[in-house]
Amino acid sequence: MKQAAPDHASPLSTSASNTREKRDSERPLVDDIRLLGRILGDVIRVQEGPEAYELVEQIRKLSVAFRRDADQEADKALKKLLKSLSGERAVSVIRAFTYFSHLANLAEDRHHIRRRAIHERAGHTQEGSIDVALQRLRWAGITPRSISDMLATSYVSPVLTAHPTEVQRKSILDAERDIAHLLTERDAIKARAAAINAAKDALSPKELAANELQMRARVMQLWQTRLLRFTKLTVADEIENALSYYEATFLREIPKLYAELEQALPGQPIASFLRMGQWIGGDRDGNPNVTAPTLEHALTRQGDVALRHYLTEVHFLGGELSLSAMLVPFGPDMLALAERSPDTNEHRQDEPYRRALTGMYARLAATLKKLTGGDAARHAVAPQNPYATPEEFLADLRVIEASLRSHHAEALAAQRLHPLIRAVEVFGFHLATVDLRQSSDQHEAVVAELLTTARVEKNYPQLDEHAKQALLLGLLNDARPLRVPGADYSAHTVSELAIFDTAQRMLRSFGRQAIRHYIISHTESVSDLLEVLLLQKEVGLLRGTLDAQAHNDLIVVPLFETIEDLRNAAPIMRDFYALPGVAALIARSGGEQDIMLGYSDSNKDGGIFTSNWELYRAEIALVDLFDKLKNSHGITLRMFHGRGGTVGRGGGPSYQAILAQPPGTVRGQIRLTEQGEVIGSKYANPEIGRRNLETLVAATLEATLLQPTKPATRAFLDAAAELSEASMGAYRALVYETPGFTDYFFGATPLKELAQLNIGSRPASRKALQKIEDLRAIPWGFSWGQCRLTLPGWLGFGSAVATFLDKPDAAERKAALALLQKMYRQWPFFRTLLSNMDMVLAKSDLALASRYAELVGDARLRKKIFTAIEAEWHRTADALTQITGEKNRLASNPALDRSIRHRFPYIDPLHHLQVELIRRYRAGLADERVQRGIHISINGIAAGLRNTG
């Protein structure tokens, strides 16, 4: 094939529009993308034929012309070409562009790691790193001891969740991890060659050729592997998918992160404050597939992964610690540990470490058998008693650590023993803390049935809030259970109570950290919290009565989601803690109160600006309330941020998001969700994963020890309130008050097709009705991203700014704009929010969105709604330009701008193909191949945009 012109450079051969414009720093990225594109192109030629490759090129060039020049002739030619494609050929083309999106992501990830290493070698550490955070703390006069003391009381926890639109198969992830490893290996080969005279280097070309051969095999594997599942994803599948990230990243990278902290703060103890959380297997809100057996399976599998990791490490330690008592002095504790081992092999009698580790392996194997029913990969020398707790296992490891230190063998301990000790501290036998979650109305139904069956109250749901509280408080002060033995409870009540029973049993097996939080979705009243306390009391998770030293095993966590709920958050918690016995109960049970804030539903409810503003206001009010509770009862507030992958759902860079929190919000305490749609991009690559974890730690350090203690100025707060009111009005006027908007949304997005995709285990909608109110916030955001409007990330802000600047005279308008510009320069909350909007607008595309609008059958409705959206898009873009002073999107982030622009040549064709196949599908011209093509295009677009919902 002849070389195309630079503006039409093939993504399957060069990927870049003009490599001469690349800076030297980007050249390795261009080389990697070119290599992967060439390999993929070769695979397509071999597997599908040269004509298939030429077709891919033709579609890409027409798509580029449509974008670059708004070429109407190209548009007509593209539509004609796409209509002529058979279903089979369309699927082949979609797979080509989708896999290129995946491969380009791998190259980009590798380049991020490469650039970071170059910066570090030059002494230029990047913002968001632990090094920079600690440097800033030193400049502020904060001592290492103060940092250590702060970390001793900190709790930072990323919480993995499943995603109703999660589109990655584990088979694909595994193959892509291999390719990422090969890219890393390729860099190492080149580095070795550069260290010597490359002209005399006969080995490197052979090594690079062998590396490329392996890469071709993996790309071939991808091409011949299904992107889609035949069957709908189950909760068990989601559990396995999540566990793969622990095996690939968390179990090894988190100990490395702690080691980095220890090295940076020598001589200071570093507490294990960073721990993992998990929703998968415990989150049953709207997911009937999560049951008591599911919860047990989740923790059993988690325990299996943790214990097998420890078994592997203990086995390798046994191979490494071959030290002989004939050469090294051993203390009594170490000798006693060795003597307890059943290992009587005469060849190891002078090797206390090996004997001890053999015995520890046997005990771990017994622990694995007891907790999971599984067998260790290697046979134990003899049956042993299992470890009762992780602390028992840790005690043995620390005996070995102390012994190695006693004869100056710290270097041996640092390689494998120290990371293992840290892993056990962090992961225990449970791996990750599983959260339980259910909707408040489901709890009410269970409590109502218990009360009716026990003949306590037959009309509980009809009681007013005051009466409910009085009744529930009375029951919490009554030691007698409500459950009636032998009663015929409904399947729902039996299933819900079984969750609580199983949770208690799992805590006994896996330890207190296995389950710590019970989240109540749609918390709207104090009685919602009391109902869960009552249900915990029924199974023994809450022991005693409120007026008699009660103790609770689980933290009851309200989730405030809608705009109204956020406004009521502080009043609800104030009233809850004012009830007799409640504050004392929480104080006795650990003195921790998590409060979860929902970004997704509040955005769908009121739009991006109002959602963020009401979250900010709620946090300020809650901090004020809990400052008083801290003083009176020693209760610590911890915010749990339900952030998604997209800006419309609270996404965006975690570092900036944490630093943009109101003063006093963090204080070493933060949990935040890592949604399923971004887990792969953030944690599939171990080095990228460690960087993301490091960002959380660095931001927590800075937000806790450097953040101003005073809130934003009154002028800033008043302006934000005014913007919020206008923004919500504009948002709701379009989304909820414009006749036909719902029909437009369902017609102009692939939501209906998305609902049939075999992805997440959770239904996309809470109800079967076609109403935006009933749609889950995640598919709502996903669908707008697929059609490239990304509407939840910006809608309403342009109108709000226009209203704010609509003043009687020029001087007032100038002053109003100057205030907004000052807010952008000085207020992290406002600056971060606008930066995220800027990124969202950069990813949007009105021309492509207009193609999706053509799917709406009613031409008048289509024109009315799309014109309104288009006008608001331009208002928002203009508002950002006025406030930031930047005419072009992402002017302040050129690297991200280049990344997004370089993706368009292979994302845009997927949009055009998706629109064509949706048109066929809805016209009744669909077969299995058309449906499969739509679903693959959804995967490819999500991968190309690097987020979904």
pLDDT tens for each residue of 887-917: 887 777 777 777 777 777 788 889 989 999 9
- Domain annotation covers residue 291: yes
Cβ contact 274:254 at 8 Å? yes
Cβ contact 152:269 at 8 Å? yes
Domain boundary among 379, 411, 427: 427
- Region of 411 on the Ramachandran plot (φ > 0 left; ψ -120 to 50 alpha; else beta): alpha
Q: Which two tokens stand for residue 450?
A: 């218990």
- Domain annotation covers residue 266: no
3-state secondary structure of 92: helix
pLDDT given for residue 280 in this prediction: 95
> Average of pLDDT values for 578-586?
96
More confident residue, 631 or 258: 258
pLDDT given for residue 770 in this prediction: 66
Cβ contact 253:276 at 8 Å? no
* In the predicted structure, residue 464 carries a pLDDT above the cut 80: yes
pLDDT given for residue 7 in this prediction: 37
Range of the domain at 843: 714-942
Rounded Cα distance, 726 and 708, in Å: 29
Which of the residue ranges 257-261, 672-676, 706-710, 836-840 would you say has the lowest mean pLDDT? 706-710
Q: Percent helix, strand and coil across the chain, each rounded to 5?
A: 65, 5, 30
* In the predicted structure, residue 661 carries a pLDDT above the cut 80: yes
SS3 letters across 334-402: HHHHHHCCCCCCHHHCCCHHHHHHHHHHHHHHHHHHHHHCCCCCCCCCCCCCCCCCHHHHHHHHHHHHH
* In the predicted structure, residue 295 carries a pLDDT above the cut 90: yes
The tally of CA atoms less than 13 A away on the side-chain side of residue 793 is: 32
**Buried b or exposed e, range 44-76, using 16+ CB within 10 angstroms:** bbeebeeebbebbbebbbbbbbbbeeeeeebbe
Cβ contact 15:42 at 8 Å? no
pLDDT given for residue 10 in this prediction: 47
Cβ contact 872:730 at 8 Å? yes
pLDDT confidence tier of residue 123, bands split at 50, 70 and 90: confident
pLDDT given for residue 423 in this prediction: 98
SS3 letters across 260-294: HHHHHCCCCCCCCCECCEECCCCECCCCCCCCHHH
> Average of pLDDT values for 491-500?
97
Domain boundary among 411, 427, 443: 427
- Domain annotation covers residue 622: no
* In the predicted structure, residue 881 carries a pLDDT above the cut 50: yes
Environment class of residue 105 by beta-carbon count within 10 Å: exposed (0-12), middle (13-18) or buried (19+)?
buried
**Residue that has been written with the tokens 């989740």 in this structure:** 298
* In the predicted structure, residue 648 carries a pLDDT above the cut 50: no
The DSSP result for 462-527, as a single string, is GS-HHHHHHHHHHHHT--S--PPTT----HHHHHHHHHHHHHHHHHHHH-GGGS-EEEEET--SHH
pLDDT confidence tier of residue 594, bands split at 50, 70 and 90: very high
- Domain annotation covers residue 193: no
* In the predicted structure, residue 231 carries a pLDDT above the cut 50: yes
* In the predicted structure, residue 949 carries a pLDDT above the cut 50: no
Q: What are the residues facing 551 on neighbouring strands?
A: 543
> Average of pLDDT values for 473-481?
94
Convert the pLDDT of each residue in 737-776 to its tens digit.
Answer: 999 999 999 999 998 887 765 555 555 555 555 677 777 7
The pTM of this model reads 0.90
CATH number at residue 307: 1.20.1440.90
pLDDT given for residue 347 in this prediction: 77
pLDDT given for residue 193 in this prediction: 80
- Domain annotation covers residue 665: no
Cβ contact 183:112 at 8 Å? no
**Residue that has been written with the tokens 């012109």 in this structure:** 5
Cβ contact 264:130 at 8 Å? yes
Beta-carbon contacts of residue 12 (< 8 Å; ≥ 6 apart): 37, 38, 40, 41, 44, 53, 56, 57, 96, 100
> Average of pLDDT values for 443-468?
97
Domain count, the chain: 2
The DSSP result for 230-263, as a single string, is SSPPPHHHHHHHHHHHIIIIIHHHHHHHHHHHHH
| φ, ψ (nearest 5 deg) of residue 201 | -90, 105
Neighbour tally for 258: CB within 10 Å: 22
According to DSSP, residue 670 is labeled E
Convert the pLDDT of each residue in 364-414 to its tens digit.
Answer: 999 999 999 999 998 888 889 999 999 999 999 999 999 999 999 999 999
* In the predicted structure, residue 253 carries a pLDDT above the cut 90: yes
Rounded Cα distance, 765 and 756, in Å: 12
* In the predicted structure, residue 832 carries a pLDDT above the cut 70: yes
* In the predicted structure, residue 880 carries a pLDDT above the cut 70: yes
- Domain annotation covers residue 322: yes
- Domain annotation covers residue 547: no
Convert the pLDDT of each residue in 175-217 to its tens digit.
Answer: 999 999 999 999 988 888 877 765 566 678 889 999 999 999 9
pLDDT confidence tier of residue 1, bands split at 50, 70 and 90: very low
pLDDT given for residue 948 in this prediction: 43
Q: What are the residues facing 517 on neighbouring strands?
A: 555
More confident residue, 23 or 614: 614
Average pLDDT over all residues of the chain: 89
Cβ contact 575:529 at 8 Å? no
- Domain annotation covers residue 787: yes
pLDDT given for residue 440 in this prediction: 96
Cβ contact 732:691 at 8 Å? no
Domain boundary among 427, 449, 474: 427
In the chain, the percentage of residues whose pLDDT exceeds 70 is 92
pLDDT confidence tier of residue 23, bands split at 50, 70 and 90: low
Catalytic residues: 163, 604
